[in-house]
Structure 1
Amino acid sequence: MKENTPEQQLDLLCSQIIRERDHWNYINENGCNDPFWPDGCNMNLTRNHIISYKRDIAELCEKAGMSLPEEYFLKIPPEVDDNYMANLKQQARVDRLKQQGDKLSLKKTKFVDDGQLEFG
């Protein structure tokens, strides 16, 4: 199997950052369906994916002598309360999480994605 070129690897990592940012925003607004973990845990996991992809991009660009792409400088969504729930509509899921001892919170964390890039 042929390995992807550094440019192809970079394109894939950039698209993964975009996908994960969209996924974080979707969960923040609509929640998810994870039966065992609150939405906040899933959002923080998604945030960690973004951080990991940025680290991979930095390593790849340094190794291949490429400039960092614009996606590298996109804002990282904030960390949220692990017990955050976008809504409590999924009653069976909510009941299961409460039985596990989770103290669920509806306090939404705002992610101001104003299009500004973060340098530094």
Structure 2
Amino acid sequence: MKNDTPEKQLTELCSKLTHERATWNHINENGCNDPFWPDGCNMNLTRNHIISYKRDIAELCEKAGMSLPEEYFLKIPPEVDDNYMANLKQQARVDRLKQQGDKLSLKKTKFVDDGQLEFG
């Protein structure tokens, strides 16, 4: 990606950022299939990716003298309980996580993605 134009790099970073936001929402609603970590841990990792992409976008725009794109101002999903599980339907996975000592929680975190942009 370093050999691409700044515009192409920006497009790629914006695409990755929006993909990670969609991933966070999907895990929050449906869970994931990670055999070793609860959904909340994966959601927080995804949140960190979003923060990292926003930082990369800001650095690229500053370096290239470009305006920040709309995607930069999209809300960052909240941090969640690492032991959050969207559901307990994957019995083998749930049992394995409990054997690791995880105290699983079904308390869903509300994230209102109302399309409003954040400035700040």
TM tier relative to shorter chain: over 0.9
Q: CA deviation at 1:65?
A: 0.2
Deviations 1:29-80 (A, max 9, x none): 0000000000000000000000000000000000000000000000000000
**5+ residue gaps, structure 1:** none
Please give the alpha-carbon distance, in whole angstroms, between the structure 2 residues aligned to 1:89 and 1:2: 43
Unaligned 5+ runs, structure 2: none
TM-score (norm 2): 0.98
Query: Which deviations, in whole Å up to 9, do the C-alpha atoms of 1:69-116 show, x marking residues without a partner?
Result: 000000000000000000000000000000000000000001001111
Aligned-pair Cα RMSD in Å: 1.2
CA distance in 1, matches of 2:17, 2:59: 15
* Distance across 2 between alignment mates of 1:4 and 1:108: 40
Using the TM superposition, give the Cα deviation of residue 2 of structure 1 relative to its aligned residue in structure 2, in angstroms: 8.1
Q: 1:92 to 1:2 in 2, by over 3 A?
A: closer
Distance 1:52 1:68 in 2: 15
Alignment of 1:15-54 (within 5 A): 15-54=15-54
CA gap of 1:75–1:2, structure 2 versus 1, over 3 A, is closer
State TM-score, norm by structure 1: 0.98
Superimposed CA distance per residue, residues 10-45 of structure 1 (whole angstroms, 9 cap, x where no aligned partner): 000000111000000000000000000000000000
Name the SS of the counterpart of 1:116 in structure 2. Answer: coil
Q: Which residue does 1:8 correspond to in 2?
A: 8
Q: Which runs of 4+ in 1 moved over 6 A?
A: none
Percent identical among aligned pairs is: 90
Shift of 1:3: 1.1
**CA–CA distance in structure 1, aligned partners of residues 11 and 67 of structure 2:** 13
Give the whole-Å Cα distance in 1 for the aligned partners of 2:60 and 2:28: 30
Q: Distance in 2 between matches of 1:55 and 1:2?
A: 16
